[in-house]
Chains A and B, each alone.
Chain A
Amino acid sequence: MKLRKVLEIIEGKLITKNVDLDMEVQMGCGADLMSDVLAFTHEGTLLMSGLTNPQVVRTAEMAGIKAIVFVRGKVPPPETIALAEEKGIPLLASKYTMFETCGRLYKAGLPSCGLFETSLRRWEEFFEKQEQPK
């Protein structure tokens, strides 16, 4: 999905300058916990977050996140914007909640990052062990 389309769907605004609106994002992730962003995303992800400090941009850089949407009308401080412009990571703003921002994009066809090995392992350890017939 192109950033142009993302902005349209979430009725959002651009925060950083010189953004290529034809940039494609392949999938979405909503998280405020940066360690979760590092563990549960792939290259090419669009990140939805309520956190606005520069670490969000750093995290995006490490994880290969393509662009970030700040939800709940949050506007990041100047140092976050400066770092994002330096790293070439577009920042977008949405006035909607995390749930609604993600929901609008998912409904419009932006897929999630899928299932993860670590999640499945925890799931199996907790649920499937109990259900195993003797």
Chain B
Amino acid sequence: MSPAQPINARTRKKTVTKLQELAYELKVAQAMTTEVITVSPDTTMAEFREILRANRISGTPVVEGGKMVGIISIEDLIKALASGEVEAKVGDKMTRNPETLYADEPLIHAVSKFERLGYGRFPVIDRDGNLVGILVQGDIVRALLRQLEIEYHEEEIHRYRASHIFEDILADQITLLFRYHIEGGNFTKAGDASSRLKKTLTRLGIDPRIVRRVAIASYEAEMNIVIYAEEGEITAEVQPGQIRIIAADKGPGIPDIEKAMEPGFSTAPEWVRELGFGAGMGLPNIQNCSDEMKLESTVGVGTRLEILIYLPSATQ
């Protein structure tokens, strides 16, 4: 095994995760073919062969009186040809009660059904049982690619909007600075600063996925200040290419930073845990959301956390 292998595996996993995410967002209806070619149970296998050939498909649902009664595929045709039954009726050779997908199911269900059952196609029905489309594996790939392209375009627009403000303002270097004061121990207000920061960044037209990462990191940092310190400040510096968040407080400080970074390590008192925090996941969460992170602390004086999140920028 080459030493580069774990890195490749990691990159692959990341891509898979992104595609998985899309497969959760997309519905079967967004991927399926709606113009379904169907046959009736009275169609002969010879006619069915012609239909497959003419439409370059490999199977169709079988419909009788507007209701789907089965599914027939090229494998059934091959079997019929092999036993010389070209004049047999589709109704006698089809698979009855075929496995179906619902149009409003997430596409990920279709992916796992294809994997599990190994079929070539699934008829798609609505919740009333009406046939509304058909899905083959190729449809899934096409839908995912289409969605990736749409998201890519959206991202382009976001980039344009975000960079626009920097283009409109004429200076050699531009930094937008947002400052929020945090009150230690005030749980009613805790999260308010991060909430306002999130709204501000959204209005600037920054990519929602980046905004989400900033909001999560800033919120965890804000909770740390509220839990441990007397008071603090969160500053967000937005520049072309990056967002820098600085969370600084006057508080007890962190005696052992390495220890504090360990997932699961916490010195939070019980009442903080009852609020759903203080499980030692805050700092690791912040690190996961950021591209760079720096933590400095002096016991008895305070703590300063600085994180950088890169912005995909047209100028860089």
Does any Cβ of B come within 8 Å of A95's Cβ? no
Whether B277 pairs with A61 at a CB distance below 8 angstroms is no
A33 surroundings in chain B (CB, below 8 A): 276-277, 279, 281
- The tally of residues in A whose CB lies under 8 Å from a CB in B reads 36
Whether A39 pairs with B285 at a CB distance below 8 angstroms is yes
Whether B191 pairs with A38 at a CB distance below 8 angstroms is no
Does any Cβ of A come within 8 Å of B25's Cβ? yes
B215 surroundings in chain A (CB, below 8 A): 61-63
Whether A34 pairs with B106 at a CB distance below 8 angstroms is no
Q: Which residue of A lies closest to B216 (CB)?
A: A38
B14 surroundings in chain A (CB, below 8 A): 117
Interface residues on B, range: 35 or more
Nearest Cβ distance between residue A121 and chain B, in whole angstroms? 8
Does any Cβ of B come within 8 Å of A44's Cβ? yes
Interface of B, helix, strand, loop or mixed by DSSP: helix
A39 surroundings in chain B (CB, below 8 A): 216, 281, 285, 288
A120 surroundings in chain B (CB, below 8 A): 13
CA distance A49 to B220 in the complex (A): 19
Does any Cβ of A come within 8 Å of B21's Cβ? yes
Q: List B residues 99-147 near A (Cβ within 8 Å).
A: 102, 105-106, 108-109
Whether B220 pairs with A42 at a CB distance below 8 angstroms is no
Candidate in B13, B24, B105 with the most chain A CB atoms within 10 angstroms = B24
Whether A38 pairs with B190 at a CB distance below 8 angstroms is no
B61 surroundings in chain A (CB, below 8 A): none
Whether B288 pairs with A118 at a CB distance below 8 angstroms is yes
Does any Cβ of B come within 8 Å of A6's Cβ? no
Q: Which residue of A lies closest to B102 (CB)?
A: A109
Whether A55 pairs with B277 at a CB distance below 8 angstroms is yes
Whether A111 pairs with B216 at a CB distance below 8 angstroms is no
Does any Cβ of B come within 8 Å of A54's Cβ? yes
What is the interface of chain B, defined by CB distance below 8 A to chain A?
A: 13-14, 17, 20-21, 24-25, 102, 105-106, 108-109, 187-188, 190-191, 194-195, 198, 208, 212, 215-216, 219-220, 223, 275-277, 279, 281-282, 284-285, 288
